[in-house]
Structure 1
């Protein structure tokens, strides 16, 4: 377990450390960079001790090693060799998160180029270190405004950096350095980008802070700037060439007490997550066009999942309803050997066969049927439809109610009665909206009295209009319509679905014995149902896979955009690391951004998908909306953000703070 940097007490010394111990101590520190076959010694065996309350200027020309020294002192970089201690703790023993803790609690950075985040206000920039210190939002906002007011920027707290002058931006940077009451202020060329008057104001402010007890380490190449310090350490070629103390350090009041130590576990994670969500939303707004393009892929993917599943489930539901209209406890006997498609004009199935089957136990209704298409005439109106001769049990077998009138009965069958029952489509085409009961229609020039109208059923599982039919007694049909006495089919309704196999076996046995050949087919509507369900499930799976592929493509797009975002915001990542962000904070921020993008896209996609499904229904298709597809689609969008946001987040968290800060 890595050590955590000791806290600074009210005197500015490390807790438990003897008075006078250096707050920053380097012993024979070197920093070496490979350069092809050679190496560059940015620091060469540097030894330096800086005590609490000092105002030290590190002076040297460009390339002398002073900025490298500041990076090591600020725990942004590690020495290649030697020992570096902060408050007596060797930083070599600290991991990346422990170094982040140290930067958060001990160091405040003031950069030459200010390093403010352009998308945040002055107050929000100042409050960044407190976010990573675990300070509550209300407390850090209050302190940020107080610091800005002290530095003369109280009225500019809600302005963005682009709305501030260079001197004002540098004061915001100083306020940020003071946010966590850091005992050490590291100022890297703080006047380099300022005019002379603004530069003097900044130096005066640093002197004032030093007088309050802050240790100030000033990096500069300007002798006039270095003159404000009480101690000047001169660098040349990575070495200290002079260490001059111009005057003794005066007695100073103790520093203000620091904020609470950073919390751990769930207590720490939840506020960090809330801040990550807030920063993610701010980032989305700041890059609204790119965010919209990123959302588009997620929206399309989620919407397609919902729409396609709604259409697929609707199609399946429609097929099931149509099959259920036929009946699920039905056995349909047709002429023709198994595996051979029959036209229906096959004389192997006779009325006597239907009579023989009626004796099988477990049969609730049996309806022999012979049908063909003929023209029915009423007055001057003609309509070409299917005329079926059948038995009174036809409606029982088919679970088909009457809309008006009655079904013909056994007496009508026995008497060869010229009566007819019309389907809704036939009634509408011949009689419009008026009732046909008691009127006569002609079939093959023979008048038939209309005694009933069937209730509307719509299309069947095969898309055929079930209402396009006219029913007559089977005997009447044989004599007056069809001529030859053979059947197209026999519909058998079984009382209990559990008896279907036994009844089917009995039908097969009886007809085989009667015909001395298996010249018939027995079809089970339950098998129709099973086949239809399997077909629709396969179709729904295909549609779902297409939608899932679109989500996968969208996820790759999110990852690509997030990787671009990491590259574009490399300096921001460096700033956050310098102000105390741990690797987990950076990981959480970028992963949360991907999650927020995908979650917002998922929510929009759910709404769009539901609207698209309703639009498809309005155009005439059958849909079925349920809770599961939207939840599944949104969960997929969320997981897309989690999975495809991880790699960019890990890349961001793995950046070197020094490299990130220097990124252009």
Structure 2
């Protein structure tokens, strides 16, 4: 005697209990099925034959008794090993066809091979060959609703044969078909039986059962007759031996398959579902799109405002350090900063520009007009340090500085009050003190930085001219220093302090001041504002994530039968989880990308409206990453719920 391929020993199955009425569906079924047999299990509706098929196909477990497959106790097999059996040993043909509506005929047939880790090209060729063999070569791209009942059943048979289909479990395969289609399906089963496949046919039709070599009748959960001699059946069609299947199970159940192929299929299926339900998908994505767009736009507006304010502050010199002498101790005269100090400071890597300044308010005359204005001697870095361009004429040159040229660049208020009568002030002369200076440029209007200090009421002349022609000394009143990095003003100040202590023999007879505290406070304020705006916008992203979870829970409910079909064709729990988690992540990714595009469009509109906007790549990547994480977090629970569904309940769901 060969080892039975399938052996049931006193199998019982009951439902209910724990406060609900107990229903005994199977009450002690014992049967052996050998390789190569064509067996029909016949019985009236409610006799327990479908429950028996589910137990035979490892979709369900018995309440009592033992099921040995190829000599192994099925109760001792883990979930992955049971999935391997459904994928490699069994092929299911259901009365209701149980095809996935969103997939084509070819994709439905391919499904068991995907979970078996067969490469895409190989499984496509095999699936196409099976459909061609069953007369569906021209229907490979059709979806189930585009096929007749007989064609759908043939697709179901092709799927059952995809991984070999050593044991075909056919549950009422002709029940939903017309007589002609029913005859075609039975002819196919006869052909498969003649080729050595084990055929287990579940039917209530005795004429259909008569096509089998062996008929087992059950009634009210009991086996009342078995027509065939099992040994004769085994001898007629030896087929696949139990020892071979047992060896393959020991090897194959440990394999993980081609996870890349499974992931690609999961993503393709996810995209297909999204496209089929695109209106619902669009509504679901709305929360993610608005959330991501809000985060990106809010952060861009905050960063733009911050940069604008910082630029405005820099225009008033708030990123500049000022150096002047002071008494080292009480009662001593103030120290002196020299032009040699200026040259030394200019060599520091933290310093961008350094400019000595000498100046005071002097009487300025032009014809019969006279008024006091601040006159300062500066070098040619004036425009760069103060970010203060000339709008008419030009600034004085290095040659003017070297030659102590009597030229002047005046502010807007000086022009208005002293040269208002002249259409072209360039080339006019102003008497500063008692020295005539020619006007060569007009500074841009800058206004008041604070209080009544008006920056436009000043005159700029070459430092050498001021020292020689106006004030009579070379040493500067103070030094203006522009830090190379406006965010590192304090570090620049420390470097200058260290240098001057060395040059002044350790005496602290100088004073350094800057507006870094003002800059930092403004930066902190703007950063806090940006963070607040981003947090408010992130709420939209959270709401979008809840929407994803809600729609995924609904999707699991709608596609419960699909989950059962996938499990029946060999999908493991992790395959089901990957499928639905992939859909949630894809939803979030599409929503994230759409949100970034929307943010860029909105940002362009804001720029056209002269609103400061500064998009940052880290902000966009961060928002997109948050969207993907949202999909993973909120998609995990629905995916886990789908993976934990009972295969039988999933298959029988409406």
TM-score normalised by length of structure 2: 0.76
CA distance in 1, matches of 2:20, 2:445: 88
CA distance in 2, matches of 1:644, 1:387: 71
Counterpart residue number, 2:433: none
CA distance in 1, matches of 2:307, 2:335: 33
CA distance in 2, matches of 1:187, 1:647: 34
- Once the two structures are superposed, residues 49-72 of structure 1 have per-residue CA deviations (whole angstroms, 9 ceiling, x without a partner) of 111111111111122111111111
User: Which residue, 391, 395, 416 being the options, matches 2:376?
Assistant: 391
**Displacement of 1:360:** 6.4
- Once the two structures are superposed, residues 346-385 of structure 1 have per-residue CA deviations (whole angstroms, 9 ceiling, x without a partner) of xxxxxxxxxx9795687965578889xxxxxxxxxxxxxx
Structure 1 residues 663 and 434: alpha-carbon distance in aligned structure 2, compared to 1, 3 A threshold: farther
Question: Is 1:451 the counterpart of 2:436 in the alignment?
Answer: no
- Once the two structures are superposed, residues 413-439 of structure 1 have per-residue CA deviations (whole angstroms, 9 ceiling, x without a partner) of xxxx9x982339988xx9999753246
Question: Is 1:92 the counterpart of 2:83 in the alignment?
Answer: no
CA distance in 1, matches of 2:135, 2:449: 80
Question: Is 1:329 the counterpart of 2:320 in the alignment?
Answer: yes
Question: Is 1:437 the counterpart of 2:426 in the alignment?
Answer: yes
CA distance in 2, matches of 1:239, 1:554: 54
**Displacement of 1:455:** 4.5
**Displacement of 1:536:** 1.4
Counterpart residue number, 2:458: 471
Contact 1:126 1:176 in 2 (8 A): yes
- Once the two structures are superposed, residues 160-204 of structure 1 have per-residue CA deviations (whole angstroms, 9 ceiling, x without a partner) of 111111111111111111111121111111111111221122112
CA distance in 1, matches of 2:88, 2:608: 63
- Once the two structures are superposed, residues 433-489 of structure 1 have per-residue CA deviations (whole angstroms, 9 ceiling, x without a partner) of 975324699xxxxxx999254454778999x9x998343599xxxxxxxxxxxxxxx
Question: Is 1:198 the counterpart of 2:189 in the alignment?
Answer: no
Partner secondary structure for residue 142 of structure 2: coil
Partner secondary structure for residue 95 of structure 2: coil
Instruction: Choose 211-220 or 305-314, whichever is displaced more.
Output: 305-314
Structure 1 residues 592 and 129: alpha-carbon distance in aligned structure 2, compared to 1, 3 A threshold: same
User: Which residue, 284, 287, 311 being the options, matches 2:277?
Assistant: 287
**Displacement of 1:614:** 2.8
Counterpart residue number, 2:348: none
**Displacement of 1:332:** 11
CA distance in 1, matches of 2:645, 2:422: 79
Counterpart residue number, 1:623: 613
CA distance in 2, matches of 1:285, 1:295: 13
Contact 2:109 2:159 in 1 (8 A): yes
CA distance in 2, matches of 1:360, 1:309: 45
CA distance in 2, matches of 1:24, 1:425: 107
**Displacement of 1:28:** 1.1
**Displacement of 1:208:** 1.2
CA distance in 1, matches of 2:414, 2:83: 80
**Displacement of 1:321:** 2.4
Structure 1 residues 431 and 544: alpha-carbon distance in aligned structure 2, compared to 1, 3 A threshold: farther
**How many residues are treated as equivalent by the alignment?**
565
User: Which residue, 42, 48, 52 being the options, matches 1:65?
Assistant: 48
- Once the two structures are superposed, residues 599-635 of structure 1 have per-residue CA deviations (whole angstroms, 9 ceiling, x without a partner) of 1222222222233223322221222233212221221
CA distance in 1, matches of 2:639, 2:5: 34
CA distance in 2, matches of 1:265, 1:492: 76
CA distance in 1, matches of 2:72, 2:240: 21
Partner secondary structure for residue 224 of structure 1: helix
User: Which residue, 158, 172, 184 being the options, matches 2:167?
Assistant: 184
User: Which residue, 114, 138, 142 being the options, matches 2:97?
Assistant: 114
5+ long unaligned stretches in structure 1: 1-18, 334-355, 372-385, 408-416, 442-447, 475-489, 504-521
Structure 1 residues 453 and 150: alpha-carbon distance in aligned structure 2, compared to 1, 3 A threshold: same
**Displacement of 1:549:** 2.0
Question: Is 1:655 the counterpart of 2:645 in the alignment?
Answer: yes
User: Which residue, 515, 518, 523 being the options, matches 1:525?
Assistant: 515
**Displacement of 1:318:** 2.2
Counterpart residue number, 2:225: 242
Q: How does 1:356-375 map to 2 (within 5 A)?
A: 359=336, 365=356
Structure 1 residues 179 and 388: alpha-carbon distance in aligned structure 2, compared to 1, 3 A threshold: farther
CA distance in 2, matches of 1:606, 1:594: 18
Contact 1:327 1:399 in 2 (8 A): no
- Once the two structures are superposed, residues 548-586 of structure 1 have per-residue CA deviations (whole angstroms, 9 ceiling, x without a partner) of 222222111111111111111000000000000000100
CA distance in 2, matches of 1:536, 1:233: 81
CA distance in 1, matches of 2:449, 2:93: 76
Question: Is 1:23 the counterpart of 2:12 in the alignment?
Answer: no
Structure 1 residues 552 and 491: alpha-carbon distance in aligned structure 2, compared to 1, 3 A threshold: farther
**Displacement of 1:246:** 8.5
Partner secondary structure for residue 273 of structure 1: helix
Q: How does 1:230-309 map to 2 (within 5 A)?
A: 230-245=213-228, 248-249=232-233, 251-252=236-237, 254=239, 268-309=258-299
Structure 1 residues 313 and 245: alpha-carbon distance in aligned structure 2, compared to 1, 3 A threshold: same
Structure 1 residues 357 and 214: alpha-carbon distance in aligned structure 2, compared to 1, 3 A threshold: same
CA distance in 1, matches of 2:565, 2:650: 8
Counterpart residue number, 2:352: none
Counterpart residue number, 1:50: 33
CA distance in 1, matches of 2:153, 2:425: 94
Counterpart residue number, 1:76: 59
Contact 1:332 1:491 in 2 (8 A): yes
User: Which residue, 403, 406, 410 being the options, matches 1:421?
Assistant: 410
Partner secondary structure for residue 175 of structure 2: coil
Question: Is 1:541 the counterpart of 2:531 in the alignment?
Answer: yes
